[in-house]
Amino acid sequence: MAESLDATDWAILGELQRDGRVPLTELGRRVNLSASATTERVKRLEAAGVIAGYRADVDLVKVGYPVLAVVRLKYPGSRHEPLHRLLGERVEILECLRTTGEDCYSLKVAATSMVHLEELVNELARFGSTTTNIVYSQTLPYRGPVGRPATCS
């Protein structure tokens, strides 16, 4: 069930998603709260699991992974444990989503070269058929939600 968040909570979430290292006093200034009230709110959001963690945004090219791809996998079996093991072992697999539709999984994969990508895709192909799309550029990087969802009528 979704947490009940007010406008200040959303403002805190927006600021932390832009800069997870912002000092709490500065965060409080940005959202018009005292440092203690800000600390209390952030701790409440963390305890509720709304803030699930803090991560560094790593430039893949600068750490040696210039090839980014989306690999879609059709997994014909019902035993997913072997695939889940591989996902845990391969650091090049950055993200995996279980999806509906023709494909069962969509994976975001970073590779050091096209040869490396081919090796990864061949390894994934042991589990089912794959379709690979090379990413030219990231039009909209992941940003997380920064406000209440719009209601549809």
Per-residue pLDDT of the chain (153 residues; tens, 9 = 90+): 577 899 999 999 999 999 999 999 999 999 999 999 999 999 999 999 999 999 888 999 999 999 999 999 998 878 889 999 999 999 999 999 999 988 999 999 999 999 999 999 999 999 999 999 999 999 988 888 877 776 655
Interatomic CA distance for residues 106 and 153, integer angstroms: 30
**In a domain? residue 146:** no
Total structural domains within the chain: 2
Which has the closest alpha carbon to 99: 90, 87, 107, 91? 107
78 plus 43 within the same structural domain? no
Range of the domain at 96: 67-134
* This prediction's pTM: 0.82
